[in-house]
Structure 1
Amino acid sequence: MRDLEAVVTGTSGVYFDPYDVDIDRDPYPVYRRLREEAPLYYNDEHGFYAVSRFADVEAGLGEPETFISGRGAIIELIKARIDFPPGVLIFEDPPIHTAHRRLLSGVFTPRKVLAIEPRIREFCARALDPLVGSGRFDFVTDLGKQMPMRTIGMLLGIPEADQRAISDRGDGRLRTEAGQPMEYTDILSGEPFSDYIDWRADHPSDDLMTELLNAEFEDETGTRRKLTREEIITYVTVVAGAGDETTGRLIGWSGKVLADHPDQRRLLVDDPSLIPGAIEEILRFEPPAQHVARYVARDTEVHGRTIPEGSIMLFLLGSANRDHRHYPDGDAFDIHRKITQPLTFGRGTHFCLGAALARLEGRIALEEVLKRFPEWTVETDKATLAPTSTVRGWDTLPTLTS
């Protein structure tokens, strides 16, 4: 296991490895060094370049013709040279991405998202009320692992009794052995959803699966048609996975960051109107997705160095969000900070379609928690980080409440 002290003091040179569990515990000292000493970094062991400054990450994500998504957005997937099925929106390039994103945008509307707010609150109450007075509460196991899949299940039309099993299966596909790359063979399997889609075809309802079954769109060839069954399965798999994992991590980080900043938590208790801004700051300060990868489709120059076609570029979102050039004193947490375009949800063509939903869930969760538990401390010795190389967050975050 690599000596973290050597990594951050420079005695072994600047080193960053997304699979290194010691770095993952607190990557921000390494990010600071990368921004100042190696704004273009190359990891020879895993074969990727990385940029860490806000301006470089923002610019790179805004060049979809150079840094393409069609080979995957994770190092392991790009290396595997997988042919993704149509509908894996996050791993597509125009023109097929344009057609599929337009279709999903028409189905996954702000109206549908806002309409389920009362049901999200109802679930929070059911999850949290039995814990009031117990003196204990786990942000992840009691809420973060349940609320996002319940929400996506409401939108998709998946029975509540089945939602937890599907969430656990998706979570398991993203897990890695400590220090090891992710296994990619089954990551996009839509098998859990096929029966639901077949049933919904004969029993339509007011949900996203029904809308996807009935939606007509113009595909990348200009043909007006409906989605195939396989495309719908893929869509549902992508929506469910994207909406579950990262939002759960956001809820966990809300608990940890506000435990570390009790004075700012007290301000939120006294004035809940500050909560939306606090969620934005948590998303900047501890983004669940720390980085996103792209395949380099043509030679390009970064910081005076030519990055050859066929390379992998890693955009370090977690580093960019703390870059003092864009956010003064970026390593400080401040719920009053004026957030200007954090890179947490990406940028440009692949800006996350679920950003509004994640913000809504984060806000509701924090509002409902603070109503019941105005103060808490994390049992640090019992808290565990999740072993994934794709998102960073807590597996368990037990707290003592009062």
Structure 2
Amino acid sequence: MTISAENSDRPGASAVDELYYDPYNVELNMNPYPVFARMREEAPLYYNDKHDFYALSRFDDVNKAVIDHDTFISGRGALLEIIKSGMEIPPGTLIFEDPPIHNIHRNLLSRMFTPRKVLALEPQIREFTARCLDPLVGSGRFDFVNDLGEQMPMRVIGMLLGIPEEHQRRVADHGEATLMNEQVDLLATGEVFAEFIDYRAEHPSDDIMTDLLTAEFTDETGTVRRLRRDELLMYLTVVATAGAETTTRLIGWAGKTLADYPDQRRELAENPGLIPQAIEEILRWEPPALQIARYVSRDVSYYGQTVPEGSAMLMLVGAANRDHRRFPPDGDVFDIHREQRSHMTFGAGTHFCMGNALARLEGRIALEEILKRFPEWDVDWANAAPSQTTAVRGWEAMPTFVS
């Protein structure tokens, strides 16, 4: 069943016509779940006339479509506005690439995120988190985003790359500015990393920046070579920007969600061993990115309807993550004791998020250290501020009263 998104207040409009999802509506995106629930049942293939896109909302459909990189390609962009603009994608933009070139570049960058390198960061991340939180003890207030969430992820990328701590703040500021201009600056040149690349080229060390500078690989033409400077700048920008924003939003959503469920928060404070599965449930429950966009490379059919070649398709991660078929008996229930089943927050297939283990580690450390100091909190709603971005949604400020 396909339901068109036409104006529901026109004469003679039926109740069915009122089912409408607009991915650019910031207010709707903060709580899209009633709409998503209707889409899963009434319009598992949905079409929006106004913005000219199709959408899938059931878990199995979303999961299979994300994996099918032959039908649903990334090379025209992974955001709806970029696909619709028809803009030329700069080479090396990893999240906007298809196999085989995507696999070549992904294999190179995956060396940044080996389990050994990720886990080795835990003491540094924990020490940085403590430095953020300790001055706030006794103040009665803590902002999940401004006091920790927006600082931690870019600092961690700096740690991972071996960027000196005194320069990590500048990297964090650059990432924040980049994300406030979703379309243009997402494809920024990465010059903020340039001096560190140049320094490591002259002074090799045992770090990831040196690894990336010296790694040899066979490119799509069969040539064995190293990464060019412009390629490395682009890769670092994509990795840092994509990873930082989502983790910042995760920490904000953790603050909001656990304020809404104080009994479960109390369990976590009393038993920190539950925190890893709580992070997993928060990731499922409030994914920072609600959808994955793809360009449709050939006609494909769903529920008796044909999606024509050249269309834009949204795979609704936020809807799939609450599908009762995947998360019985009710995906709209938040439960840190839920049986663990894989969700779609980090994607699937060839574009599965390389930084997923790092994001999970940051989320776990953040909650462990916050709950040690602030086992109870209430949101200061008068000063909470939703982010105005739509590609990755969440909170610009999540201030709380703590005790």
Work out whether the TM-score is over 0.5: yes
Change (3 A) 1:187 1:222: closer
Q: Is 2:195 aligned against 1:195?
A: yes
Report what 2:24 is aligned to: 19
Q: Which structure 2 residues correspond to residues 96-107 of structure 1 after superposition, within 5 A?
A: 96-107=101-112
Q: Which structure 2 residues correspond to residues 178-257 of structure 1 after superposition, within 5 A?
A: 182-184=182-184, 187-257=187-257
Greater shift, 207-216 or 258-267, is seen at 207-216
Q: Is 2:175 aligned against 1:174?
A: no
Distance 2:163 2:51 in 1: 39
Distance 1:133 1:150 in 2: 25
Correspondent of 2:133 among 128, 132, 136: 128
1:344-395 deviation per Cα after TM superposition (whole angstroms, max 9, x unaligned): 0001111000000000100011001011111111111210110011011110
Q: Is 2:162 aligned against 1:162?
A: no
Distance 2:238 2:166 in 1: 21
Change (3 A) 1:206 1:42: same
Gaps of 5+ in 2: 1-6
Query: Percent identity over the alignment?
Result: 63
Report what 2:320 is aligned to: 320
CA contact (8 A) 1:138 1:399 kept: yes
CA contact (8 A) 2:291 2:318 kept: yes
Change (3 A) 1:378 1:236: same
Shift of 1:238: 1.1
Shift of 1:84: 2.8
Gaps of 5+ in 1: 177-181
Report what 2:398 is aligned to: 397
Report SS of the residue matched to 1:389: coil
Q: Is 2:68 aligned against 1:67?
A: no
The code of the aligned residue for 2:179 comes to L
Question: How large is the RMSD of aligned CA atoms in angstroms?
Answer: 1.8
Distance 2:185 2:49 in 1: 24
Change (3 A) 1:138 1:333: same
Report SS of the residue matched to 1:152: helix
Q: Is 2:372 aligned against 1:371?
A: yes
Q: Is 2:62 aligned against 1:57?
A: yes
Report what 1:179 is aligned to: none
The code of the aligned residue for 2:253 comes to W
Report what 1:344 is aligned to: 345
The code of the aligned residue for 1:169 comes to H
Distance 1:275 1:3 in 2: 44
Change (3 A) 1:208 1:80: farther
Report what 2:282 is aligned to: 282
1:279-324 deviation per Cα after TM superposition (whole angstroms, max 9, x unaligned): 0000000011111100001111122111111110001001100011
CA contact (8 A) 1:76 1:184 kept: no
Distance 1:292 1:219 in 2: 27
Shift of 1:191: 2.1
Distance 2:391 2:15 in 1: 26
Distance 2:265 2:380 in 1: 17
Report SS of the residue matched to 1:382: coil
Correspondent of 1:38 among 36, 40, 43: 43
Report what 2:154 is aligned to: 149
Report what 2:307 is aligned to: 307
CA contact (8 A) 1:72 1:295 kept: yes
CA contact (8 A) 1:77 1:184 kept: no
Distance 2:303 2:179 in 1: 33
Shift of 1:3: 10
Q: Is 2:360 aligned against 1:359?
A: yes
Q: TM-score, normalised by structure 1?
A: 0.93
Distance 1:185 1:175 in 2: 8
Report SS of the residue matched to 1:234: helix
The code of the aligned residue for 2:68 comes to E
Distance 1:294 1:305 in 2: 18
The code of the aligned residue for 2:62 comes to V
Shift of 1:200: 1.9
CA contact (8 A) 2:284 2:321 kept: yes
Greater shift, 102-111 or 233-242, is seen at 102-111
Q: Which structure 2 residues correspond to residues 112-127 of structure 1 after superposition, within 5 A?
A: 112-127=117-132
The code of the aligned residue for 1:293 comes to A
Distance 1:28 1:164 in 2: 36
Distance 2:220 2:356 in 1: 25
The code of the aligned residue for 1:368 comes to E
1:111-153 deviation per Cα after TM superposition (whole angstroms, max 9, x unaligned): 1111111000000010000101111000000000001111001
CA contact (8 A) 1:108 1:208 kept: no
Q: TM-score, normalised by structure 2?
A: 0.93
